[in-house]
Copies of this chain bind each other. A is one copy, B any other.
């Protein structure tokens, strides 16, 4: 008794309770419940309970045009950034009866488009997207069409859509500040793709902090990675080396790129942090286990997901109170990949 039996329908409940199916539906839908006399409502609930009745979401969805389903579109589940985020999403969604439908895009616009289409086909009620730059316009179009969308990790400049991101600029600044505090003056930056807001914002944060500390920003000390994925940092790191400029530290736009930097530097005979300090961004899982343990900027990926899910449901249910874009604060995590420079640069005389 009370156990879930998939075969039971509203009709079964209605018959056993001696009422009409419509009445059963009303009793079981919180919004209509009050229209029914307490007496019958109780009886219906009792019977539903006994029969182990659970509404069929497909049938309900067909009728109401709501699937209680959310599309989650990310580049790659295998990127350690995303699993905690997805968990945050699901942990928020499930208790509310919603389910997440996942799609990986591998940052390929075509795959992303297909994924979006497939999810639309399944009538998802809304989307949580970490979009590829190439499709920003399309996502923008969806938003303008009134499709509920929340962006995660990236925001679209100039578009008023909902978004949840880490404080990229602040995080980048504090990374530079950490390096400066250690005594570094020649700081390089392996920037992420400038087509995406994290790449842009972290670059801006870098510039801003450098300027604040009156450190010269040499163009030759900034290189750009093609993507945020592992491996994409090798080329820019090598470029940095080949340019022949001196630097004692590098701020990489994320941990994966930082890892590539360390690897590349090591291959060139430079030890981290002895010869050059490296700092990343994200505090990806097991960053503390790496060699050396990675100094990085932390924010809660889980919370990004949770908040995004919360925002999205708010949007779907037409609650207008939510903020348009939520920026989560970041935190410096000091570990082994950063230390004082080998040859301390002249300390400046005044503050």
Interface-side segment among A30-38, A204-212, A287-295: A287-295
Number of copies: 2
Using A56-B121, A61-B58 as known contacts, say yes or no to A101 and B101 having CB atoms under 8 A apart.
yes
A338 to chain B, nearest CB (A): 16
**Chain B, residue nearest A291 (CB):** B291
Instruction: Bin chain A's interface residue count.
Output: 35 or more
B-contacting residues, A73-125, CB 8 Å: 76-78, 80, 82-84, 86-87, 90-91, 94, 99-104, 117-118, 120-123
Using A77-B86, A100-B102 as known contacts, say yes or no to A121 and B6 having CB atoms under 8 A apart.
yes
Q: Which residues of B contact A122 (CB under 8 A)?
A: 57-58, 99
B-contacting residues, A45-75, CB 8 Å: 54, 56-59, 61-62, 67
A327 to chain B, nearest CB (A): 24
Which one, B76, B83, B103, B259, contacts A78 given CB within 8 A? B83
Most buried by B among A82, A90, A122: A122
Report the Cα distance A117→B4, complex, angstroms. 7
**Chain B, residue nearest A119 (CB):** B99
Report the Cα distance A311→B339, complex, angstroms. 52
A117 to chain B, nearest CB (A): 5
Q: Name A's B-contacting residues (CB within 8 A).
A: 4, 6, 54, 56-59, 61-62, 67, 76-78, 80, 82-84, 86-87, 90-91, 94, 99-104, 117-118, 120-123, 259, 285-286, 289-293
Can you spell out 19 A-B residue pairs with CB atoms less than 8 angstroms apart?
Answer: A4-B117, A6-B121, A6-B123, A54-B121, A59-B62, A76-B87, A77-B83, A77-B86, A77-B87, A78-B83, A78-B87, A80-B80, A80-B286, A82-B83, A90-B103, A99-B118, A259-B286, A286-B290, A291-B292
List 10 tightest A-B contacts by C-beta distance, closest first: A291-B291, A77-B83, A4-B117, A289-B290, A78-B83, A58-B58, A58-B62, A58-B61, A54-B121, A59-B62
Known: A101-B101, A259-B289, A290-B290. 10 other contacts (CB 8 A): A4-B117, A4-B121, A56-B123, A76-B87, A77-B77, A77-B86, A78-B87, A80-B286, A100-B102, A291-B292
